[in-house]
Structure 1
Amino acid sequence: MLLGCLPGLAAVAALVLCANGVDSTVTAAVAHRPRTARPATVHHRAVKPPVVPRTSWLGDAARPQPPPRYDDEVVAVFVHHTDSPNGYDCADVPRIIRGFYTGQTGARDWDDIGYNFLVDRCGTIYEGRAGGVDRPVTGAHTQGFNHRTVGIAAIGTFTAGVPVPREMTDAIAALAAWKLGLADIDPRTTVRLTSSNSGSRYAAGRAVTLPTLAGHKDGYMTSCPGAALSARLPEIRERAARLQGRTSTGTP
Structure 2
Amino acid sequence: MWLRRTAVCAMVVPLAFLVLRDAPVRLAAPESATAKPAAQSGVPRPAIVSRAQWHADESLVKEHAVYTGTVKAVFVHHTGHTNGYDCADAPKMLRAMEEAHVEGEGWDDIGYNFVVDRCGTIYEGRAGGVGRSVRGAHATGFNAHSVGVAALGTYDAGVPVPKALIEGIAKVGAWKLDRSVDPEGIVRMVSTNGDSRYRRGEVVYLHAVAGHRDTYQTYCPGEALYAQLPTIRAEMARMRSRKR
Task: Please indicate the TM-score interval, normalised by the length of the shorter structure.
Answer: 0.7 to 0.9
Partner of 1:38: none
Relative to 1, partners in 2 of residues 1:87 and 1:106: Cα closer, same or farther, differing over 3 Å? same
TM-score w.r.t. structure 1 length? 0.85
Q: Deviations over 1:154-209 (max 9, x none)?
A: 000111110000000011111111111x4332100011111111110101110110
Distance 2:126 2:9 in 1: 21
Please, which of 64, 70, 74 is the counterpart of residue 67 of structure 2? 70
Partner of 2:92: 95
Partner amino acid for 2:204? V
Please, which of 53, 58, 78 is the counterpart of residue 55 of structure 2? 58
Aligned 8 A contact 1:115 1:141 in 2? yes
1:146 paired to 2:143:
yes
Partner of 1:229: 225
Q: Secondary structure at the match of 1:80?
A: strand
1:24 paired to 2:20:
no
Q: Secondary structure at the match of 1:209?
A: strand
Partner of 1:14: 15
Unmatched tracts of structure 2, length 5 or more: 1-5, 32-38
TM-score w.r.t. structure 2 length? 0.87
Aligned residues: CA RMSD? 2.5
1:238 paired to 2:234:
yes
1:80 paired to 2:77:
yes
Relative to 1, partners in 2 of residues 1:113 and 1:6: Cα closer, same or farther, differing over 3 Å? closer
Aligned 8 A contact 1:77 1:152 in 2? yes
Partner of 1:117: 114
Aligned 8 A contact 2:9 2:77 in 1? no
Q: Deviations over 1:110-155 (max 9, x none)?
A: 1100000000000000000000000000111000000000000000
Q: Using the TM superposition, give the Cα deviation of residue 23 of structure 1 relative to its aligned residue in structure 2, in angstroms.
A: 2.0
Q: Secondary structure at the match of 2:48?
A: coil
Residues 58-67 or 200-209, more deviating: 58-67
Aligned 8 A contact 2:198 2:215 in 1? yes
Partner amino acid for 2:162? P
Q: Using the TM superposition, give the Cα deviation of residue 29 of structure 1 relative to its aligned residue in structure 2, in angstroms.
A: 3.7
Unmatched tracts of structure 1, length 5 or more: 34-40
Partner of 2:158: 161
Q: Using the TM superposition, give the Cα deviation of residue 51 of structure 1 relative to its aligned residue in structure 2, in angstroms.
A: 0.6
Q: Secondary structure at the match of 2:189?
A: strand
Aligned 8 A contact 1:119 1:155 in 2? yes
Aligned 8 A contact 1:5 1:224 in 2? no
What count of residue pairs does the alignment treat as equivalent?
A: 232
Partner of 2:207: 211
